[in-house]
Amino acid sequence: MPPAARPETEAPAAMPETSLSRILPQAPAFAWPELQHIDPVLGLAAVMLVAVVAASAMHRLMHLPRLAGMMLVGALASPLGLGLLQPADLDAWKPIIDLAIAALVFELGSRLRPRWLIDNRWLAASCLLEGLCAALAVGGALVALGAPQMSAVLAALVASSTSPIIVMAGVHELRPRGQVGERLLLMCAINSVLAMLALKLWPLLAMAGQGTTGSDALSWVASALFVTCGSFLLGLFGGWTLDRAARLSRQRASMPVLQIALVMLAATLASSWGLSPLLTLLVAGMTARSLMGHRLTVEPYLGSAGAALTVLLLISLGVLFSFDGVQQVWPWVLALVGARLLGKGLGVVLLARPSGLGWRQAAGLTLALQPMGSLAVLLVADNFRWASQLPGFDPAVMQALLISASLMQLSGPLWLDAGLRRVAGECREEARHAA
């Protein structure tokens, strides 16, 4: 994949004449390349190498989860730190990063058992309630602090979701076994899909807010229906295709390759047809599990190549972190993070006992649901500058949302560790050393 064009490097300035230069024979002058001018492909590869080593060192010395360490290295390489990589550099990598995300979402889908929502109606209600409470709390807090109403609603929709990337990567590291871990995956999938659908309907909501709905409203509704039904059908077809292909190949060793091929196919088709890759891959994972049962063995990250993709993904998240303007919008950031914590906590606790969850487990689940990301919008956007694609979004609220997402992604592994291991006690001790 060709890297994005770079401005040509300026000629190095002439060396000042020193006593040493007068004595030594004249050699071609050497100068360290400026970090900003490194080829982005080379730069990202180098950062990956550093990230793995540095994350391990930070884990050993500071007990920082490796996932957080990798994101920190990405942030360090971004304009926030050394400026080695620019967010725009990642556009060239977007198909690969999308694949990494898609692999995690497919695996998430394959771990879900939708039947559970029928067996436990209170759990189904709880899944909706925690997203709703979080959205209401965030929206209410931002409006109370003077944010424009429609922008506050948009921020609330994004904030209602939990980051599937951080959750899946964290689950791989911590390996929880219990109610909290299972509910976390289910709630994360549901609140991400709902947030994605709400964002698809956002232009309609924006028009309604401005009182300009008309003939366009029907077309937006039709578009949302097309996205939902189309993604669902494509996911069903993807899962069915994987089942057929696995039956024909009959080789267990070829399963990861088939899965990667399916994930790429489904994600690409969904993107090019204007559908939701998130919903498509979740449905594909669930369908494949349902049809294939125990023949479907989903390796964590779809195997070691997928693990490398996930490192790349975590670094990219770090590069995309934004803390610009934090001095101006910090009250909104605090309100957003705090209100989201309270909203999700309320949603979980209200139906904890009827849905069969203990109080301590409810507290653990609330903490584990905190990792926040922009995946819901990332997968409906064409590039990483998705913020500019949402019409009518107040720049300050957007900035507060971006800073909050960065903060809650970076601290996501810590929330997961606190929720799943320390409070819920669902992780074995060895997982602590691995995380």
Partner 1 sequence: MPLESFTVSEPLTMGVELELQLLDTLDFDLAPRAQDLLRALDRHSGAWDVKPEITRSMIEIGTSIQREHAPLRDELHHLCRQLSRGARKLNIGIGGGGTHAFQQWSEQQIYPTERFHYISELYGYLAKQFTVFGQHVHIGVPSGDDALWLLHALSRYVPHFIALSASSPFVQGVDTGFHSARLNSVFAFPLSGRAPFVLTWNEFGQYFEKMTSTGVVQSMKDFYWDIRPKPEFGTIELRVCDTPLTVDKAAALACYLQSLCRYLREERPFEPAEDDYLVYTYNRFQACRFGLDGEIVDPKTKQRQKLRDDIIRTLARVAEHALDLRSLEANNQIRDSLFEGNDASWLRALRQGGAPLPALVEAASARWMMK
CA dihedral 80, 86, 92, 97 (to 10 degrees): 0
Amino acid present at 24 = L
Question: Among 39, 79, 87, 113, which residue interacts with partner 1 (rule: CB under 8 A)?
Answer: 113
Q: Which residue, among 77, 100, 99, has the nearest Cα to 89 in the 3D structure?
A: 77
Encoding tokens for residue 12? 């190095």
Question: Interface with partner 1 by CB under 8 A: which range of 86-94, 116-124, 194-202, 233-241?
Answer: 116-124
- Smallest gap from Cβ 356 to partner 1, in A, equals 5
Question: Among 36, 86, 120, 228, which residue interacts with partner 1 (rule: CB under 8 A)?
Answer: 120
Alpha carbon distances (Å) from 12 to 32, 33, 34, 252, 376? 10, 10, 10, 56, 45
Give the angle subtended at the CA of 355 by the CAs of 353 and 361, to the nearest 5°: 60
Hey, is 317 helix, strand or coil?
Answer: helix
How many chain residues touch partner 1 (CB under 8 A)? 17
**Does residue 177 interact with partner 1 by CB under 8 A?**
yes
- Report the 3 state secondary structure along 25-67: CCCCCCCCCCHHHCCHHHHHHHHHHHHHHHHHHHHHHHCCCHH
Alpha-carbon distance of 381 to 138, in angstroms, equals 23
Question: Interface with partner 1 by CB under 8 A: which range of 71-79, 113-121, 166-174, 399-407?
Answer: 113-121
Question: Among 36, 428, 432, 434, which residue interacts with partner 1 (rule: CB under 8 A)?
Answer: 428
Q: Is residue 309 classed exposed, middle or buried when 0-12, 13-18 and 19+ CB atoms within 10 A define those classes? A: buried
Q: Which is nearer to partner 1, 179 or 316 (CB)?
A: 179
Alpha-carbon distance of 408 to 386, in angstroms, equals 18
- Smallest gap from Cβ 174 to partner 1, in A, equals 15
Q: Which is nearer to partner 1, 89 or 107 (CB)?
A: 107
- Smallest gap from Cβ 307 to partner 1, in A, equals 20
- Smallest gap from Cβ 182 to partner 1, in A, equals 6
Question: Among 27, 119, 248, 250, which residue interacts with partner 1 (rule: CB under 8 A)?
Answer: 119
- Smallest gap from Cβ 295 to partner 1, in A, equals 8
**Does residue 116 interact with partner 1 by CB under 8 A?**
yes
Evaluate whether 281 touches 102 at the Cβ level (below 8 Å): yes
User: Interface residues for partner 1 in 282-341 (CB under 8 A)?
Assistant: 293-295
Question: Among 12, 338, 356, 391, which residue interacts with partner 1 (rule: CB under 8 A)?
Answer: 356
User: Interface residues for partner 1 in 371-410 (CB under 8 A)?
Assistant: none
Q: Which is nearer to partner 1, 43 or 170 (CB)?
A: 170
**Does residue 178 interact with partner 1 by CB under 8 A?**
yes
Q: Which is nearer to partner 1, 360 or 385 (CB)?
A: 360
**Does residue 179 interact with partner 1 by CB under 8 A?**
yes
Question: Interface with partner 1 by CB under 8 A: which range of 69-77, 220-228, 351-359, 381-389?
Answer: 351-359
Evaluate whether 56 touches 62 at the Cβ level (below 8 Å): no
Alpha-carbon distance of 358 to 180, in angstroms, equals 10
Q: Which is nearer to partner 1, 28 or 293 (CB)?
A: 293
Evaluate whether 346 touches 137 at the Cβ level (below 8 Å): yes
Identify the sign of the CA torsion 384, 386, 389, 394.
negative
Question: Interface with partner 1 by CB under 8 A: which range of 32-40, 78-86, 108-116, 164-172?
Answer: 108-116
Encoding tokens for residue 224? 């949302």
Evaluate whether 358 touches 429 at the Cβ level (below 8 Å): no
**Does residue 111 interact with partner 1 by CB under 8 A?**
yes
**Does residue 231 interact with partner 1 by CB under 8 A?**
no
Encoding tokens for residue 381? 């956007």
- Smallest gap from Cβ 424 to partner 1, in A, equals 11
Question: Interface with partner 1 by CB under 8 A: which range of 177-185, 241-249, 316-324, 337-345?
Answer: 177-185
**Does residue 253 interact with partner 1 by CB under 8 A?**
no
Q: Which residue, among 270, 99, 266, has the nearest Cα to 200 in the 3D structure?
A: 270
Q: Which is nearer to partner 1, 74 or 300 (CB)?
A: 300
Q: Which residue, among 106, 102, 105, 127, has the nearest Cα to 116 in the 3D structure?
A: 127
Applying CB under 8 A, which residues contact partner 1?
A: 111, 113, 116, 119-120, 123, 177-179, 182, 293-295, 355-356, 358, 428
